Chain A
Amino acid sequence: MTAAIGLRDVTVHYGRTEALSAFSIDVAVGETVALLGPSGSGKSTALKAVAGFLRPSAGSVLLAGRDVTHAPPRERGIGVVVQQYALFPHMKVKDNVAFGLAAMGRADRRARVAEVLDLVGMAAYAGRYPRELSGGQQQRVAIARALAIRPPVLLLDEPLSALDASLRAEMVGELQRLKRELPDTAVLYVTHDQTEALALADRIAVMRDARLVDVDATEELYHRPPSAFTASFLGAANLIPREGGELLVVRPHQVAVAAAGTPGGRAARVTGVQWRGSTYRVTCALDADGTEVRADVASLDGLPGVGETATVLVPTVGEGATVVRV
């Protein structure tokens, strides 16, 4: 089946800066792919290339198999939600949502506006201006406006980054529900937040310095990260050097800390303890090479304090750890 979105070796320059370097990815019909990476890694640039907001200097953009590399945004029929929402400030919510429906008859348009506002739970706010809404409400309206045109492709650029933490968790749930209600919509979801990517994406593409680092099914990428960068970015894994130029990948919850001299472990010194509510994060420096190892433990009972010597117990490859090359 033809992919809903296809990027083929897309390269983008801003002046002399290469913001995207021969980037390729496919998003299937109904699939959600997250572009995950640190700030400045080229995620928004990739999304803008799909939307047609900028011109690639090389490569091609395909939508449902059609080459749209040089087509203007209005001919692409894509729903776009940008980071700061960009709701038109001089239009009421309903007029914002109706903006893309100019070709429809009046009655159809009103019905469609009501339908999508209902979908995002904003029907009661149709007559308000954007400035009269909270950040979360503006975000829902921006999504409704993008979905109104029934786009086969939806692009979301850090849609939750402007919201506070509790609202963000709630909106992740909302987006999961929306996804179930729109089973045929391909979604490209840009974020620097791994929890959003893990919760929402079928596949994750990890980016760094304008390049694709790894792309794979979400669980596969989390449990068997192919590279050190992906391992540490996705799940904050510890990377412990092994012989042969390899790194042992161990998640903090897989690591245990015990009193100094416990057999089967590695000698270390505790350098910090952070209470995180449900767990404590204990940071240790290995005596052997100073490598920092983070462990999430349920209780501090019987554990050495900060500055004291300790033993760090790390699982082996057979027990759940994986290995990557440096």
Chain B
Amino acid sequence: MLVWSRRGRALLWTVFALVFVPVVLAPLAVLVLAAVAGSWNGVLPTGYTTGHLGDALAGEQVASLSVSLQTAFLAGIGAVIVGVWGALAVREAPPAARRIADAAMHLPIAVPSVVVGLGLLTAFSRPPIALNGTMWLVVIAHFVLVLAFAYSTVSAALERTDPAYAQVAASLGASPMRVLWRVRVPMLMPAVSAAASLSLALSMGEVGATIMVYPASWRPLSVTIFTLTDRGKVFLASAETVVLLATTVVILVGLGVATRRGRR
């Protein structure tokens, strides 16, 4: 704790509560309440039901969750692999090329997701590569959107790593491949895990680009929630959101635990 005085600490907690409660906690609480609300006319729901959550875990909705998960895994794995490779490659490049490549890898952060969606739609909707109407357009859109975050997480970690580790490994006779797999990549594992978590979380919640490119056969949960809300089915949408949130949290915690185990 950096703030020692009792008053300082009290102040800190107050500010934290003032920001955290209305901005983060209150909307979440309302969501959870709405997910189990029978009807809601006053300040609090007037009756409670598990019906929405039951619906949210049935048939079509579960299929939608599964689509979200598959998309997140495919796009996330792709983004982490390309992100790690990109970070390593950019680090080795001569300074001028390095600056250009670094900016290019960060570009998708600056481009609105709707633009990414539209771009992919126009680029891949006629031969030679016609992907519209397939799941791949969704996966590619997510890949493009999370890649920049995965890359920047890994490249920041790489920037902090002393080049001496790789140099010493090389002086001990290791080939560049051995240095990469036995020293550089393992040392990047915490950042790789963070990049994977970030990619997954971003992909699970992505709507902007997805809504422009998804086919009827591949509708992620985030889009389902959006359309439910649009049609006024707020309680079911809230229940779906709770399911989406819970699934994401479970996966992220699982990833965190696995990484910590791996480091031991």
Q: Which of A73, A82, A103, A145 contacts B170 (CB 8 A)?
A: A73
B26 on the A face (CB < 8 A): no
Interface string of A69-109 (1 = CB under 8 A from B): 00011101111101110101110000000011011000000
Contact of B167 with A99 in the complex, beta carbons under 8 Å: no
Please measure, in the bound complex, the distance between the C-alpha atom of A74 and the C-alpha atom of B183, giving whole angstroms: 15
Please measure, in the bound complex, the distance between the C-alpha atom of A52 and the C-alpha atom of B162, giving whole angstroms: 16
A149 on the B face (CB < 8 A): yes
Contact of A145 with B172 in the complex, beta carbons under 8 Å: yes
- CB contacts (< 8 Å) of B89 on chain A: these are none
- CB contacts (< 8 Å) of A99 on chain B: these are 169, 172, 174, 182
Interface string of B15-32 (1 = CB under 8 A from A): 000000000000000000
Q: What is the predominant secondary structure among interface residues of chain B facing chain A?
A: helix
User: Distance (Å) between the CB of B41 and the closest chain A CB?
Assistant: 58
Question: 23 A–B contact pairs at CB < 8 A?
Answer: A51-B167, A53-B163, A53-B167, A74-B170, A74-B172, A74-B175, A76-B171, A77-B173, A78-B171, A80-B171, A82-B167, A84-B162, A86-B165, A86-B167, A88-B165, A88-B183, A89-B187, A90-B263, A100-B174, A102-B173, A103-B173, A145-B172, A149-B173
Give the residue name and chain of the A residue nearest to B189 (CB): A90
Interface size on B, residues (CB 8 A): 20
B164 on the A face (CB < 8 A): yes
Contact of B169 with A88 in the complex, beta carbons under 8 Å: yes
B168 on the A face (CB < 8 A): yes
User: Distance (Å) between the CB of B23 and the closest chain A CB?
Assistant: 38
B178 on the A face (CB < 8 A): yes
Contact of B168 with A80 in the complex, beta carbons under 8 Å: yes
- CB contacts (< 8 Å) of A149 on chain B: these are 172-173
Contact of A90 with B162 in the complex, beta carbons under 8 Å: no
Known: A73-B171, A74-B175. A86 touches B164 (CB 8 A): yes
Contact of B173 with A100 in the complex, beta carbons under 8 Å: yes
Give the residue name and chain of the B residue nearest to A48 (CB): B167
- CB contacts (< 8 Å) of A146 on chain B: these are 172
The 5 closest A-B pairs by CB, nearest first: A100-B172, A86-B164, A73-B170, A73-B171, A82-B164
- CB contacts (< 8 Å) of A77 on chain B: these are 173
Q: Which of A84, A88, A102, A145 contacts B178 (CB 8 A)?
A: A102
Please measure, in the bound complex, the distance between the C-alpha atom of A86 and the C-alpha atom of B186, giving whole angstroms: 14
Interface residues of B in 109-161 (CB under 8 A from A): none
- CB contacts (< 8 Å) of B178 on chain A: these are 102
User: Distance (Å) between the CB of A41 and the closest chain B CB?
Assistant: 20
- CB contacts (< 8 Å) of A88 on chain B: these are 165, 169, 182-183, 186-187
- CB contacts (< 8 Å) of A52 on chain B: these are 170-171
Please measure, in the bound complex, the distance between the C-alpha atom of A100 and the C-alpha atom of B168, giving whole angstroms: 10
User: Distance (Å) between the CB of A84 and the closest chain B CB?
Assistant: 7
Give the residue name and chain of the A residue nearest to B183 (CB): A88
Please measure, in the bound complex, the distance between the C-alpha atom of A103 and the C-alpha atom of B173, giving whole angstroms: 9
User: Distance (Å) between the CB of B149 and the closest chain A CB?
Assistant: 24
Interface string of B167-203 (1 = CB under 8 A from A): 1111111110010001100110100000000000000
Known: A51-B167, A53-B167, A102-B178. A90 touches B186 (CB 8 A): yes
Known: A88-B187, A89-B187. A82 touches B168 (CB 8 A): yes
User: Distance (Å) between the CB of A108 and the closest chain B CB?
Assistant: 15
User: Distance (Å) between the CB of A190 and the closest chain B CB?
Assistant: 14
- CB contacts (< 8 Å) of A82 on chain B: these are 164, 167-168
Interface residues of A in 203-226 (CB under 8 A from B): none
Please measure, in the bound complex, the distance between the C-alpha atom of A52 and the C-alpha atom of B166, giving whole angstroms: 12
Q: Which of B162, B170, B186 contacts A72 (CB 8 A)?
A: B170
Please measure, in the bound complex, the distance between the C-alpha atom of A51 and the C-alpha atom of B86, giving whole angstroms: 28
